[in-house]
Structures are given as structure tokens and as C-alpha cells.
Amino acid sequence: MKALYRKWILNYWSPYLAMALAGVLSAVYFGITKTVWAVTGEFTRLGGHVMEWFGADVSDWGYFKLIGMQGNPVTRTDGWIVWGMFAGALVMVLLNNNFKLRIPRQKRRWAQAFAGGIVAGFGARLALGCNLAAFFTGVPQFSLHSWIFMASTAIGTYLGVKLIGASWWKGKPRLIKGPVEPARAASGRIQPLLGGLAALAYAILIVCFFVSGHKMLGVAALFGALFGILIERGQICFTSAFRDLWISGRATMTKAILVGMAVSSVVTLVIILANGMDPITKIAAPSTLIGGVLFGLGIVMAGGCETGMMYRLMEGQVVFLPVFIGNIAGAGLLAYAWDHTFIYRRLVETGSKINLIDKFGAGGAIAATLIVLGLLFAIARYWQNHYRFGTGFRKGAAKNVH
């Protein structure tokens, strides 16, 4: 028992395992609720509620009609996915005695985080999803928009890496001549205790949802917590899956996410066919492309996307608080701009919902998806073996100067 606890609770998990499990769980979640694992739609609604508190009437805004504003964040399944992810991540952080206020020494990080959060929030909602609905849970729905989003996010993160590599953005570390003797840390018992209590309280809450007949809220609260546990234990970072390729050729996260999507695609297809369900297809339009580029740029500026920032915040990385606020502000801004500016008319209306199952049939769709994911995996592997920090693919660089 103790060994199991040590292995699964007090150790980080392989990102491959975490993503494969997330792939299976998100497919099952779709089978139960007919919605996908997503977070930014709810962030946009939060932005809408904030605007309502300030007296704005958002009831006739096209974007809120599109995503639905019924209820509030504790009566919606999408809301409980978000709270569940926070709760699951926090419990794991506390059980590991790993909460610490991690405060950036360089003040510029605050402004960078907020700006990045806005750009990422705006871009994600322009494309109708973030790295989840327009990517990790979009590809397994065979929705073409998620492939466009993925490609354009790659472009955006490349631009982002150019930006954060500039010396005025990057800043300077604290470099000391000679060793540093950090104070010995005392071993703490309080955080694991709080973590256990939080887990218990949350479990009771889930039971209450089921007992009181709010079955779907219970399902969302449970799956949200499981997703939170997975992304925290696997240290899953969608931002790094793209960004680190451009920086130092690291592809661990890239490959893990590709594996997760492949698993999720197979399980999702089985669920779609077995239950006679329709996959969730979103509009593929110029807005998908532009949104993806902005999202990619924004997440690199912010240091994390709408998913990654959730567990980072629970770890005490306070710089992700302005990211969170920025995400909501950016999403709210997009909701306003949607039909109050040219965005819907020029960038969205021209698009259409395209699903690979309609185009190629179920067999063709899964074959095409798995082949492309496999190709991307091979490219990521090659990239990891040959791309190096500061020199890229240049010959001889791989051997290093030593």
C-alpha cells in the first residue's frame, strides 16, 4: 500500500501514460455527456458574467448565443470541468507538499503573462476552442478545424519563441560566482494533511451531486478532477509541445500528446459508432487559422496555455494569475468583437463545418487521422535527435562543442 502510494501519488507520471489516460477519459466523457473536455468556452462565459455584473447587457451578443449562457459556473457541466481541474491539481500538489508561492524576480514577467493571456484567450475563442476542443479533443472528433488550428498554433509558437528570445523580453538570470548554499528546507506535514482533507471534501461533493440527482454535474466534477490530476502528475504542457521544438528540440511532450490523441481517436470512434452519436464538428474558417496563430503566440508569451496555467497556479506559480485574468479578458474581448466588428462577417461566416467521417467514412477518417499523427510523431522524433539550442539543424551542431 505504502509502495503504491509512493509510486502513484508521490512521483510524477510518464507524460505518455498521462496523455493516453486523458485520451481515454475524454472519449468516455464525450460518450456520457455528449460534450468534450474543454475549458475556454467556460472562461468566455465567466467573462460574460463579469460584464453583466458591470451592467452590460450581453444577451443579444452572437457569441454568447453560440456558446450558451444558461445557468452559472456552478450549475454547468463545463463549469465543473474547470473547478474539478483546479481541485484535482491542487489535491495532488498538496499531497506532494509541493505548494510554494513561486514569485518571479523579474517584474517584466507580470506584464508578459497578462499580455500573453489576453492574446491566447482572444485567439483560442476566435478559433472556437483552445488546445483542448480545437486540438486534443477536436482531432478525435474528426473535425477539420482542429487540424487547421494545430498547424497555425505551430506557426504562432514559432513567432512567440522569436519574441521571447529577444534580450529585452528574456531578461537576465541571477548568476553567482561560486556555489550557493540554500537553507535546508524543513519537512512539512501540513500540506499533505490539507490535501487529504480537500480530496475527501471534494469526493463528498461529487457523491452529493449524484445523490441529489445532478448526475451530469457529478460526472463533470469527477472527470474534471481526474483531468486535473493527470495534467499535474504528467506535468502536461501543450505550450511546451510546440515551443520547446523551436527552442531546444525537446519533443517529449509533443510525442506524448500525439500518442494521447491517437488513443483518444480510436476510443472516440468506437463510442461514436457504438452509440450512433454525431461527432462534434466546429466551423473551419479563416478565423480558425488566425485564431491558431494568435493562440500560439499568446501561450508562448504567457508561458502556458489555458490548461497548463490551471495546475501551475495551484502549484503557487502566481505569475499565472495574470494569465488567467488575461485569458478571461481576451475571451470576453473576442465575444464583443465577434459581431460588433467585421470578425464574424469576414472571417467566420465564409467557413463551414467539415468532418472527416462525412468526407471519408469512419474507416477513412480514422486511417487518415492515425497516419498523419504517426507522421508527426516521426517528425518529432527526428527533430528531437537533430535540433539543438541556438544552432537549430545546422551540421555539426548536434555533436556540440565539447
Give the residues lining the site for another protein (CB under 8 A): 12, 97-100, 102-106, 109, 164-165, 170-171, 173-180, 182, 184-188, 235, 237, 239-240, 243-244, 247-250, 252, 303-304, 312, 315, 317, 319-320, 384, 388-390, 399-402
CB 176 → another protein: shortest distance, Å?
A: 4
CB 171 → another protein: shortest distance, Å?
A: 8
Closer residue to another protein in complex, CB, 65/100: 100
Closer residue to another protein in complex, CB, 72/385: 385
Closer residue to another protein in complex, CB, 35/235: 235
Length of the chain: 402
Closer residue to another protein in complex, CB, 28/379: 379
Closer residue to another protein in complex, CB, 94/283: 94
- 85 in Cβ contact with 225 (< 8 Å): yes
CB 162 → another protein: shortest distance, Å?
A: 13
Closer residue to another protein in complex, CB, 248/275: 248
Three-state DSSP string of 65-110: HHHCCCCCCCCCHHHHHHHHHHHHHHHHHHHCCCCCCECCCCCHHH
CB 304 → another protein: shortest distance, Å?
A: 7
Closer residue to another protein in complex, CB, 115/368: 115
- First-residue to last-residue Cα distance in the chain: 46
CB 261 → another protein: shortest distance, Å?
A: 21
CA angle 180, 181, 185 (to 5 degrees): 135
CB 150 → another protein: shortest distance, Å?
A: 20
Half-sphere exposure in the Cβ direction for 211 (13 Å, CA): 6
List, in sequence order, every residue forming a beta bridge with 149; answer none if it has no partner.
none
CB 186 → another protein: shortest distance, Å?
A: 7
For residue 343, the 8-state DSSP code is I
Whole-number Å distance between alpha carbons of 338 and 323: 22
Per-residue cell: 294? 494568435
Whole-number Å distance between alpha carbons of 183 and 41: 44
In sequence order, what DSSP letters do the residues of 126-152 get, joined into one string?
HTTS-TIIIIITTGGGTBHHHHHHHHH
Distances (CA, A) of 396 to 143, 254, 260, 393, 401: 41, 25, 34, 9, 9
